[in-house]
Chains A and B, each alone.
Chain A
């Protein structure tokens, strides 16, 4: 089983719909991140959380919200999806060391029509 699990893996939705992407981890890490990947733009940080009571905006948080339900769970919501939110979304975790590695899930591909 994957250490970082994302659901759903693929989702097609319509403009204006509310969408939630879920992430759960078994690595025991405190730090969790949501990234968005678009062709030619690499990975852009949406939100990050260093523990259950800590939520921080990243580079591109507009139009997104998150919830850290537990140490192991971090969900990303699009309250009213729009077509330019069509992208590949990744959840990642980190142990929090200065040189700490990011461990990624397999990604959630979202298409907004």
Chain B
């Protein structure tokens, strides 16, 4: 059983569309991170959110940490082919990081 559940598992959209990826848990985390992974490479950090209710923006990406620090969302506005990749959320507990199962995003031109 995964501590963090991500949805959807797969997402295939057209360039210009908006999308939201969800990361949910029944556990509380001290912080939550979002990573992006390209084929043949390790995950790379996009953002860390720490405070319940926190919202962070990174260009067209908006990240939100739930008020209770149990869940998070990633919203992409006007997706581009360069956004294609595997998106992973990771929650921190006692200096260990627990990962969700990932959302594989494909943005078609």
User: Which A residues contact B (CB, under 8 angstroms)?
Assistant: 4, 31, 33, 35, 40-45, 48, 50, 58-59, 90, 92, 94, 96, 98-99, 101-102, 104-107
Contacts and interface: CB of A to CB of B under 8 A. Distances in A.
B99 A101 contact: no
A99 B48 contact: yes
A106 B35 CA distance: 14
Given A41-B101, A42-B102, A107-B42, A102 B96 contact: no
Interface string B49-61: 0100000000000
Interface of B: 2, 4, 6, 9, 30-31, 33, 35, 40-45, 48, 50, 88, 90, 92, 95-102
A42, A58, A98 interface centre (most CB from chain B within 10 Å): A42
B33 A43 contact: no
Contact of A107 (B4, B41, B101, B102): B41
**SS class, residues of chain A in contact with chain B:** strand
Contacts of A59: 98
Contact of B45 (A31, A33, A50, A101): A101
Nearest to A91: B42
B18 to A, nearest CB: 24
